[in-house]
Amino acid sequence: MRYELLDRPSYTVARVEFERSGERLLADPLAVVARESGIHHRGPALGAAQGDAARPRTGLAAALDDFVRSRRAGMHAAPPPPAWASPATLTASAPREHAFVAPPLEGDLAVLELEEVGSLLLGSHAFVASASTVTLDGAWTGSAAFFTPAGGTLLRVGGSGPLFVGGYGGHHIIDLDASGYTCEVGHVLAFTQGLDYDVAPVARLGRAGSAGDGRLARFEGRGRLYLSTRDPANLRGFAERFRRTSGRD
């Protein structure tokens, strides 16, 4: 599988070229921009036919939806499966076929070759696509604790091949040495396995929808930390103030 990143850094899209018939790309269904007609697409259908509850959610849409859902009295619909657990599968029927994938929000897209970077821990919101040889595990103990209460899962990523990672805004890489680093949870895209981390609430003054809901992650050890320069929760919190009230315009 070859790839090329276009329109960097604000509106990055990956052009993926399959090298052989039967090669597969797993992708967030909302991240698939285009594909050649010979590529077989299998995955959850989008749209009204399955209803909104069946729609895989990601990015800002998921953040807005989760926020509204959590505050709607009497609404207890089962959440749809996350995009990483129910991805679309693109299978090439011939060499040199092309597909395009992009993160739902404006911003950059990075390709991490797992043979080079090693095993990772990845925020589920940052999953865009991967080779089928990449493994994603969201069932390990502590996977949900990192992003709580904002929602999301910390995925263990292993295997080999390219992993396409996207967030909101640009990507900022911090190479950690012994001194460590502290960052807002909402800005964390991924980090290399082996880094020690601790998440703690930070004193805030009741600001709804703030970044990471006021949680700071402190990392120590040697490794690499991938941050996004924007946090969807910040935009969500701002938009929430403009929600209309029933009975008003």
Partner 1 sequence: MKVHIGYRPAQSVARVNLDTGESVIVDHSATVGMSPNVRLAALEHSDRHAHGAGAAARGAEPKHPPSAVAEPIQRASLCAQGAPGEVLLAARWPGDLLLLELMPGGYLFQSTAFVAASPDVRLDEQLDGLDALFSLGATPEAAPVHAIKARSEQPGQLLLGACGAIEPLECEGELILEMGHVLAWEAALEVRDAGVDVARGGWLARLTPARRALRCFAGRGRVWVQTRDPVALGRRLGRALPRRHA
Pattern 164-203, partner 1, x by CB under 8 A: -----xx-x-x----xxxxxx--x--------------xx
40 pairs with which residues across the strands? 91
Report if residue 234 touches partner 1, rule: CB under 8 A.
yes
Report if residue 242 touches partner 1, rule: CB under 8 A.
yes
Beta-carbon contacts of 2 under 8 Å, excluding residues fewer than 6 positions away, are 16, 17, 19
Report if residue 247 touches partner 1, rule: CB under 8 A.
yes
Instruction: Measure the CA–CA gap between 208 and 230, rounded to whole angstroms.
Output: 17
Q: Six-digit token pair at 38?
A: 């010979």
Q: Which stretch binds partner 1 (CB under 8 A): 26-34, 51-59, 105-113, 141-149?
A: 105-113
Report if residue 241 touches partner 1, rule: CB under 8 A.
yes
Q: Which stretch binds partner 1 (CB under 8 A): 93-101, 122-130, 135-143, 228-236?
A: 228-236
Note whether 226 and 163 are within 8 A (CB): no
Report if residue 8 touches partner 1, rule: CB under 8 A.
no
Instruction: Measure the CA–CA gap between 153 and 82, rounded to whole angstroms.
Output: 9
Note whether 195 and 176 are within 8 A (CB): yes
Residue 50: CB atoms within 10 A of its CB come to 12
Report if residue 221 touches partner 1, rule: CB under 8 A.
no
Identity at 238, one-letter amino acid code: F
Q: Six-digit token pair at 233?
A: 């929760």
Kindly list the distances between the CA atom of residue 243 and the CA atoms of 84, 110, 121, 246, 247, in Å, as whole numbers in the listed order. Answer: 30, 33, 35, 10, 12
Report if residue 100 touches partner 1, rule: CB under 8 A.
no
Report if residue 142 touches partner 1, rule: CB under 8 A.
no
Site size with partner 1, rule: CB under 8 A: 49
Pattern 17-56, partner 1, x by CB under 8 A: ----------------------------------------
Instruction: Measure the CA–CA gap between 83 and 200, rounded to whole angstroms.
Output: 27
Residue 230's φ and ψ, nearest 5 degrees, are: -130, 155
Q: Which of 45, 53, 68, 77 is in the footprint of partner 1 by CB under 8 A?
A: 68
Q: Which of 64, 90, 122, 190 is in the footprint of partner 1 by CB under 8 A?
A: 64
Residue 57: CB atoms within 10 A of its CB come to 23
**Residue placing its CB nearer to partner 1 in the complex, 40 or 218:** 218
Report if residue 106 touches partner 1, rule: CB under 8 A.
yes
Contact residues for partner 1 (CB under 8 A)?
9-10, 64, 68, 71-73, 106-108, 169-170, 172, 174, 179-184, 187, 202-205, 207, 210-211, 218, 220, 227, 229-231, 234-235, 237-249
